Structure 1
Amino acid sequence: MLKQLSRLLLSCLLAWWASGLFPLARAEEPRLLTGETPFSPQHLALLDDATLNAVCMIGPRVLYAVGEQGVIRKSEDAGQTWRFLPSPVTCRWHSLCFLTDRIGWIAGGNLTVDGRESRGCLLQTLDGGESWTVQSPLEMGMLHAVRFFDMQHGIVCGESTASGLAGIWRTSDGGKTWQGMQSAEPMQWRTGAFSLNGGGVVAGSRGRVALVGGNRILVDRSLTESYRGIRSLTLDETAAGWMVGDGGLVRYSPAGAAWQDPPGALPAELKTLYDFRAVARVEQSVWLAGHPGSAIWMSQDGGRTWQARATGGTVPLNSLHFADSLHGCAVGELGTILLTSDGGLTWSNAARQTRRLALLQFSPRASESSFLLTARYAGHAGYRVGIVALCDNPLAATNLDRVAEDLRLQQGVNLTGGHVGRASWALPLDLPELDLRRESLLARWNRSTDDQLADLVLSHLVRDLRVYRPDVVVIDLPPENDQASQLMRSALDNAIRAAGDSTWLVEQQQYAALGPWKVPRVFERSRIGRGGEVLLESDDYLAGLDQSARMAAGPAYLQLHGSLTALPSAESFQLVNRSDLPGPLRLADLFTGIILAPGGAARRATFIEESPRSQAGAALAREQRNFSALVRTRLHDEQQAAQMIAQLNQVVGRSPGSQAVQQLLELAEQYRRNAQWDYYDAVLMQAIENYPDEPATGLAAVQLLQLWTSREMTQLRLSNRNTSVVSRQIDSARLSEELEAFLSEATEEPASQVIVPVVREESRAAALTPGSKLERSAWESTWQQRALVVYRFLERTSPELARGPDVQLPLASLYRDRGARLGVQGVFQQYLHDSGRDEKDRSLLQQFAEVEFWLQSRAGITPRRYLPCYAVSQAPYLDGLLSDECWQQADEIRLRVASRFSAAGLESLERPIVMLGYDAEYFYLAGSFPRHPALPVELPRREGRRHDADLTGQDRLQIAIDLDRDYQSSLVLEVDQRGFTRDTCWLDAGWDPEWFVACQGDERHWRVELAIPLAELSRERPVRANETWGLSVSRILPGIGVQSWGEQQGDVPERASFGVLQFR
């Protein structure tokens, strides 16, 4: 009965959606905000110490500064007093440009709730910031630089989007419309400088620099800074300019010439001490600032001689601007504002307070940061808290639409009320499983630091401690097999001792005015919540945020992981070093016995008080804790799981909308882990039906659309479906009519209409044959119909999500499956831009689009991402020798180095060979792989083989088959040099197909032959002529790199991995 109830719920929810009985949220229209908007004391405290990213002076008296948490500040008395300006949107502001003291623009943006994409935002004011209008088209990513030349012509640059890969947009009508420039690959520009003729320079992470002229972008190859990011640029009307960045990077260009070292050398010690973030120039005077912010370097003779001028503070500075050669301003972290009226010889602090952090967390990776900690001590108690991620993980952003990890880390910190979120540039984890191999890891890091690994790591860690001067430092307990974490833990132990010793790294005092800092307390964090003297539970109620720690930290974990899987139930902290007080001390929290007054140097003003509202919040937190416990106990019981679905509204409905959606997403994730797909559907459907206005609801809608359009997941679900307990009345004729009517108009805006579920479920007992053709077709059609309804929902509520490739490519696969050719063409037409370029210079989505149109017409040159698979006349004998006739006649596929980060020398090695074939029963694959001298040789063996073996650390072949070419879901099969195998079906690791493997090897090569039953891959058997799949074939060399047919970067298939396989 409970199963019947749950399935009835599924159908009812569909009917509610389709009939429009629940309200549809509207995208927020640009608003004009006028007059003074009162800020609450809590909001003022948050804005007061928010990081400032940019400053602009209009003459010596009028200044504007913008930054994180949506802060906009203005001074009209040369920076002596400042006021906060209201704005119609809350964004992270990175840049500003003013033509007069009244007319200007500020640029920035935000990230989507799952951190997968960024959204740009641009505000204009005509009255000195008293009111603002929004000028932000959907196709813009987060903006980092803005320049208007007059009231009509302007340019912005920043993060790329699917429709704006270049990350640069121009306007010629005052911001009413914007035109994006074109690029073959996604660009992430962090700074830009432009002259009045519209030309300029843009730059970003990993030393990437490009010249901008007209509608062309020319990447400058003269720089070889592979790891150091460029953070700031300045350019005058003669094209002379300066650029600065990580690792003490300073370059200048005299009158448009190539970038070169400055005329006068800066001290060599700055390369391991400074990360410059800002540069300003007036005539022959140049100023440099960054991390640390304790000194600003200046030259009064065009860079021939340099001197450091102390600022009186230590926290990093992000922006410099001078109104003339005397009057300047610098802004940075913790709301720091510094002023000079003598050309930078002396600096004064506008806040008259030198700020620092109370708590600093060192995390090996950004994804391992504790946002429970930030929510508890920053958001709730007001302590100033920062996170430093010690390793850079570019593989976390290899998908086309993935935002760089440092932006997501800062977003997570902002969401939990924290202050500093920074990812190191010097220690990349940019090769698959690099962190598991110590020798490869050290070799990689020595290359990235120019063989100065030990000196640079120690200098950076000691610098951070002396800059932020925390009372509490939190470090991680390193896992046993994590070489990166173990190396970082050892380095941190040394750095904590050295930071408090004035005889260590004396150059930091000499060149940056950084004195020693002895850390009072050091805690070791256990992410499993066991042991330790202080326990932080996710269900703890935080009165300062009026919610539990779990609810407060959840959005931050979504930013770094795209889901709530990493949100821990508890974390424990063990005191490992204490110098503040002698004798034993019973710890209630990390700050027991440390007095930090609200409003002081290390703590913002806090306003925590008991009230009826806080009592209600605490009661709600207890209900949420009980619900989480109930989920854990009932999840594996079919009847109780169904009962929980029926009670969701009663349990979740009392929470605020954002918290309710988070609870539903957590529950859905639990069902996903257990492969309980009906309940997964039902939970996400409730989020959409009950909370359409919540931003996270768009994430639920995208997940449902991807699941319902995935042929791989449809096959998997139908193969396990038991349908004998419920009767279904299927109106096949009306189903076909409704779907075809929609699909035939796939390129037009569909008319609003009531859609009745095609599968009606009743609670009376009846049966259809499980797995019958009628039953399978009905469920598949119903899921496709639901996907179309969800797409309409996204078009109305989140048009930017609906237009993204995560939705458009699955939608195209649905159209293709239903024979809606116009719909497929409509999707891919939007990705066709400049077909005159060489194929290698075209964007990934354009390459996909060209393959799709070529498949329909067969006109022109065969695309690079196309691969034919020919039938074999005789099946191979699987022995791993590759001597069969079919392999002698097969075309060889040579795998190439795919990762731009691959270890040196991989390109010169012999390239692996892969061959394909098929017959009526099987899909065959054979491959030969030359061994890499840096990897251990393990010969094939039969004993010890088991299904879904752990292949970590093994040289292996990975095949991903995308049956419907949605470039989202796929069947993944892997085999390593031992002959061990593993297989998964996208979201479901429980997929267990039967396939056959033969493996042979010697000291020089290892070889495999595979026979995969077509019945295990596709419901179509035998394969139809011209049937087309997506295919990825990659060889993973742990700690070394990837060799691939596509362009795979890491150890999991990604969109760039795939091409098209067609059976001929």
Structure 2
Amino acid sequence: MLSLALVGTPAAQAQPAPNGPDRLRSLPPIQALPITSGAGSKGTAPAALTSPPYCDSDTLRTSATIRALQFWGQERGVAVGDHGSILVTADGGRSWKDVESGVQCRLNDVLWVDDRIVVALGGGVDVVTRISRGAILVSHDAGASWRRSADSELPLLYSVERTRGNHSGDRRSSITAVGAPDPITGATSFQSRDGGRSWQSMLAPRAVASTDALQRSPIRPTATAEQSADLSERVNTRSIIRASCQLDDQTILCAGDHGNIFRSTDGGQTWSAVRSAAWSNDASQGPPGACAMLVIAANEDRVPWALIGRETLEKRLRCNLVVGTLDASGAHALDHALDQAAMRLGVAAVDSFAASDEDVSLATLRRWIDVHQPPILVLDDELSAETKTALLQHAVAGGAEKVVEYALHGRGETLLHDSAMLPESGVLAGDFAADGLMLVSDFEFASDADVVENPWVAINTRYSGGSQFARGDSLGLGVRLNRGHRLPPRQSKASRRRLHIIQGRLKQQAAIIELLGTQTDASGQTAPDKFAEALSRLLDQTSREDQFRSAWSIARRSVGQSNPIAVWEEVARRFDGASAAQLLGLHARARQQSQEWDRHRALINGLRPSGAPVATSSSGVQSLPDAAQELLPTVGGHAAIVSPFQSNRTATPDSQPAVIQASAALPLGNHRFNGLHRSNRLLTPFRQASEHRQEHKIDLAWQMHPVRLIVEDALARKQRSATEQAATEQAATEQGEKAPTRSAVAEHDFSADVRRIADHQSPWSSLLRPSSRQTAIAVKTAAPPRLDGRLQEPFWNDTDAQPAQTRGRRPLTLRFAWDEQYLYVAVQGSAEHFVKTVDSEPVGRRDADLTQSDRVTLGFDIDRDLLTAMNLSFTRRGRTHDDLDGSDRWNPTWYVATHASGDGVLTAEIAIEQRSLAVSLREGDTWFVEAQSLAAGRPRRYHLMPDPLTRVRVDFR
């Protein structure tokens, strides 16, 4: 239904007709406006360079963290920072004025090109895909006003400097910006010769480019805890200094968290705050902004987004966040997406500590507490008991008035539920968590995601020096806080209409659970059309502001369910202008055309590879043929077939038995996930993608992104192979001959687009080249190995063989070999990464819960589409888990043995039955294999955006 509304100025509508009623006058313009989203309407997804409405960037900008500070001469200066904040001074930094930037993203650096032209740059990242988007602002009046340059195709930018060799006063001199890799060219440097108006990529020659330098995006250096504490003590401030600038021998300015700027006129001996408490009438008066609440999270998965959002955006407490990282250095490992998620919740800054070393991490965390001296300290319950006790004592000794612990979905004296209404911000508390997870985390499988079952943050008070009777919904109650501890008051509160909307959304969680229940009917068969219709209707009834978040919540919960394809397709159709939706559309197409899924449909539906049904016991567990039952010994009270690769060495407590077979019992019974009944039939016919798509402006960053090009290449190759195979079979039938079983299309062929990616220096190029550290050569062997984790067989060190190495934070070395029946894999990694194991289930039990154990996960991507894979996981003690993109109904036969050498290397030797992989290997095949070393506590995840650093290429010869 189309609704017409009159749009015009009130004055025009009220103006009387001149000279009587017989004279005509112009009517205000008439415009057709939609009054409802309507069925099938297009929605909008969160943008990289803008903040959600609840963020209130205009208010937060006045006290945002300052990231860079630059002067031209002694008087004129510009400072830039979070939320698009820009400050200018004309008196040598004695006073500062806020200038409208027109952007809401973080600005990382600023440069004076000459006495009039100034360039500021930064950017953000897309949700889910983490594709970076750059923002460049140019001023031609010494910072008084700013305009965006031609930056639509640039990635996130970190720093800018004048190109060496050019005179500083020459307007024609070039400037160079450094940022994240350009997905099209792989370039990380970009040059402008016209004062920042236009930019071009600077490509390093392939012969001299450093591959190691491309493992991580270049980032602007960040001060360590020790350096930050030292600077803060010199300036006598309780905030971290992020930028500084020296005007002459005596005059120095520095700036940092909470918008504070300090000035010294005696060479840094004494300092005065020239900008503080910026939300007061006089920015130079009042206490400097300081951290009221310091949150320490064990890792990025443990950040309590809902709790932070309530305290910052709703209760207006200033907050800093410290997050553990697996990187040993701990200083440069945090991703910009984490910074962006925190910034949108009003957090001043995110810093880090090395979680891999408890002694180092404890010393680092004490220094962060010394810098901030927070009245409120919030500790992750996942931190060790010793660390929490030491930090509590240190904080209380330093003056902290309250110390609390939080647990995600645990028990506590108070609970912050996802459905808690926050009237000032106009959202539900869970909205903060959902928006944060879109940026920093992949989907958790529904069977493991406690967030679906227990959507809350539990809070327990460990120390309170204030009133013991203060009760309420804020951690600040009972704590003495001054004006510098609080964020500026919100300019406008949520409207009454918005409050009515979020009241209606309180019933949406039940509606989503009911919606997911429509995936199966009474007979256990899926009903994709019914489900798709219900999903579309639910989203049509959701406000535009909340549609993408609701759709994403449903997509997250559908992973591991019977048919997520319908959800992915609906998101792709409804939000097709966003890279996140385009990626989900690729996932839907890849799943539909996946060789892994196509070859295992019969197995997952309860049939053996030959088509014969699998015997089922009365307990609902798949049983083996009678001949195999005779070979079953007892291992830990559980049956296991004698391995054909069994080692004759004596079993030890550390590796018992010597070879573990992961096929003794095949669970066939029904399971319950999130209270929903799951039938045996996992795969069902898929909905076809919509033929009608709304035209959008071409997004080159996505269209030319390596992930899209590689996936499209794999899908096209699969289609081409199927067409040629059909033609070959038809020709053979006409000639009365037997058709070949495989297509004549070469497995190692890549399209021109993919070859072009390999030619550029990018994180993906090493994976696509036949000769690189990430390419392994698998040799054919005449004799099988003895699985003992020692790699003593000659073929492991064959001159024709070639190992490959992942480039992630916990690198692994992989070797491959094969024969007519088995694929052999050797995995080596640091033994210190495989210490923690939980032996709650007996060895040999299929699909053990490995979440609380250090483990290796291998994903075999035989069609190289990056988005589907057969996954095998194991611990050093032989606990195993296997799945097909999260489906535990895929039950292959494979064997694993591990051995820890004296030089600190853990080696795993694996044999996988080719029939279980539904392949028959031949020379010339090329696969991608993902290999990850996962720390205990990290849940199983469905990775939406592939990571090139965790993958290797395998060429079979």
TM-score by length of 2: 0.69
Could you tell me whether the CA contact under 8 Å between 1:557 and 1:566 is conserved in 2? no
Aligned position for 2:368 = 464
The amino acid that maps onto 2:457 is E
The amino acid that maps onto 1:144 is S
Could you tell me whether the CA contact under 8 Å between 1:974 and 1:983 is conserved in 2? yes
**Counterpart-to-counterpart distance in 2, 1:108 and 1:535:** 37
3-state SS of paired residue (1:992) = coil
Aligned-pair distance for 1:892? 8.0
The amino acid that maps onto 1:384 is R
Aligned position for 1:321 = 245
**Counterpart-to-counterpart distance in 1, 2:934 and 2:584:** 35
Could you tell me whether the CA contact under 8 Å between 1:384 and 1:602 is conserved in 2? yes
Q: Deviations over 1:802-840 (max 9, x none)?
A: 222221211111122233999943222322447xxxxxx
Q: Deviations over 1:870-903 (max 9, x none)?
A: 375xx75988799999979977857587668779
Could you tell me whether the CA contact under 8 Å between 2:292 and 2:375 is conserved in 1? yes
The amino acid that maps onto 2:948 is R
Could you tell me whether the CA contact under 8 Å between 2:70 and 2:112 is conserved in 1? yes
Aligned position for 2:310 = 376
Could you tell me whether the CA contact under 8 Å between 2:519 and 2:527 is conserved in 1? yes
Q: Deviations over 1:493-523 (max 9, x none)?
A: 2322332xxxxxxxxxxxxxxxxxx111111
Aligned position for 1:138 = 153
1:827 and 2:712 are equivalent in the alignment: no
Aligned position for 1:590 = 475
Aligned position for 2:224 = 246
Aligned position for 2:190 = 169
Alignment map for 1:234-273 (pairs within 5 Å):
245-246=223-224, 273=226
Aligned position for 1:571 = 457
Aligned position for 2:434 = 554
Q: Deviations over 1:772-805 (max 9, x none)?
A: xxx99xx79x87xx59x89x98984533122222
Q: Which has the higher helix share?
A: 1
Aligned-pair distance for 1:580? 1.6
Q: Deviations over 1:740-794 (max 9, x none)?
A: xxxxxxxxxxxxxxxxxxxxxxxxxxxxxx99xxx99xx79x87xx59x89x989
Distance 1:636 1:594, change over 3 A: farther
Could you tell me whether the CA contact under 8 Å between 2:55 and 2:346 is conserved in 1? no
Aligned-pair distance for 1:667? 0.9
The amino acid that maps onto 2:466 is D
Aligned position for 2:647 = none
Aligned-pair distance for 1:669? 1.8
3-state SS of paired residue (1:616) = helix
**Counterpart-to-counterpart distance in 2, 1:574 and 1:154:** 52
Could you tell me whether the CA contact under 8 Å between 2:376 and 2:401 is conserved in 1? yes
Could you tell me whether the CA contact under 8 Å between 2:44 and 2:548 is conserved in 1? no
Aligned-pair distance for 1:108? 0.8
Query: Which of residues 232, 248, 251 in structure 2 aligns to 1:294?
Result: 232
Q: Deviations over 1:675-719 (max 9, x none)?
A: x22xx2222322233334567534534543554454324444576
**Counterpart-to-counterpart distance in 1, 2:425 and 2:836:** 55
**Counterpart-to-counterpart distance in 2, 1:422 and 1:627:** 39
Aligned position for 1:73 = 87
Query: Which of residues 359, 373, 377 in structure 2 aligns to 1:473?
Result: 377
The amino acid that maps onto 2:189 is I
Distance 1:696 1:84, change over 3 A: farther
Aligned position for 1:984 = 883
Aligned position for 2:550 = 663
1:544 and 2:445 are equivalent in the alignment: no
The amino acid that maps onto 2:224 is D
Aligned-pair distance for 1:332? 0.8
TM-score by length of 1: 0.63
Distance 1:991 1:379, change over 3 A: same
Aligned-pair distance for 1:595? 6.3
3-state SS of paired residue (1:700) = helix
**Counterpart-to-counterpart distance in 2, 1:593 and 1:889:** 67
**Counterpart-to-counterpart distance in 2, 1:672 and 1:869:** 36
**Counterpart-to-counterpart distance in 1, 2:858 and 2:773:** 21
**Counterpart-to-counterpart distance in 2, 1:882 and 1:464:** 45
**Counterpart-to-counterpart distance in 1, 2:259 and 2:443:** 31
Distance 1:933 1:536, change over 3 A: closer
Q: Which moved more, 1:464-473 or 1:698-707?
A: 698-707
**Counterpart-to-counterpart distance in 2, 1:647 and 1:395:** 49
Aligned-pair distance for 1:92? 0.8
Distance 1:29 1:811, change over 3 A: same
1:613 and 2:497 are equivalent in the alignment: yes
Question: % of aligned pairs identical?
Answer: 17
3-state SS of paired residue (2:310) = helix
Distance 1:955 1:324, change over 3 A: closer
Alignment map for 1:736-815 (pairs within 5 Å):
786=689, 796=697, 798-815=699-716
The amino acid that maps onto 1:45 is T
Could you tell me whether the CA contact under 8 Å between 1:979 and 1:998 is conserved in 2? yes
RMSD: 4.9
1:604 and 2:479 are equivalent in the alignment: no
The amino acid that maps onto 1:807 is R
3-state SS of paired residue (2:395) = helix
3-state SS of paired residue (1:274) = helix
The amino acid that maps onto 2:556 is E
Aligned position for 2:260 = 336
Aligned position for 2:68 = 54
**Counterpart-to-counterpart distance in 2, 1:358 and 1:370:** 16
Q: Which runs of 5+ in 2 are unaligned?
A: 1-39, 277-284, 607-679, 722-744, 937-942
Aligned position for 2:121 = 107
Distance 1:997 1:141, change over 3 A: same
**Counterpart-to-counterpart distance in 2, 1:492 and 1:603:** 26
Aligned position for 2:639 = none
Alignment map for 1:548-947 (pairs within 5 Å):
548-563=428-443, 569-581=455-467, 583-594=468-479, 596=481, 600-607=484-491, 611-628=495-512, 630=514, 643=530, 645-674=532-561, 676-677=562-563, 680-693=564-577, 696-708=580-592, 710-716=594-600, 786=689, 796=697, 798-819=699-720, 824-833=750-759, 845-851=764-770, 865=775, 867-870=777-780, 872=782, 876=784, 893=801, 916-919=817-820, 922-925=821-824, 944-947=843-846
1:160 and 2:181 are equivalent in the alignment: yes
The amino acid that maps onto 2:927 is W
The amino acid that maps onto 2:253 is C
**Counterpart-to-counterpart distance in 1, 2:548 and 2:107:** 28
**Counterpart-to-counterpart distance in 2, 1:618 and 1:885:** 65
Q: Deviations over 1:893-934 (max 9, x none)?
A: 57587668779xx9xxxxx99562232xx2342759899699
The amino acid that maps onto 2:895 is V
Could you tell me whether the CA contact under 8 Å between 1:102 and 1:129 is conserved in 2? no
**Counterpart-to-counterpart distance in 1, 2:552 and 2:948:** 25
Aligned position for 2:29 = none
The amino acid that maps onto 2:560 is R
3-state SS of paired residue (1:819) = helix
Distance 1:556 1:1007, change over 3 A: closer
Aligned-pair distance for 1:134? 2.0
Query: Which of residues 522, 543, 546 in structure 1 aligns to 2:403?
Result: 522
Distance 1:1058 1:99, change over 3 A: closer
3-state SS of paired residue (1:831) = helix
Aligned-pair distance for 1:421? 2.0
Q: Deviations over 1:543-586 (max 9, x none)?
A: 222111222332212222134868661112111101123x5443
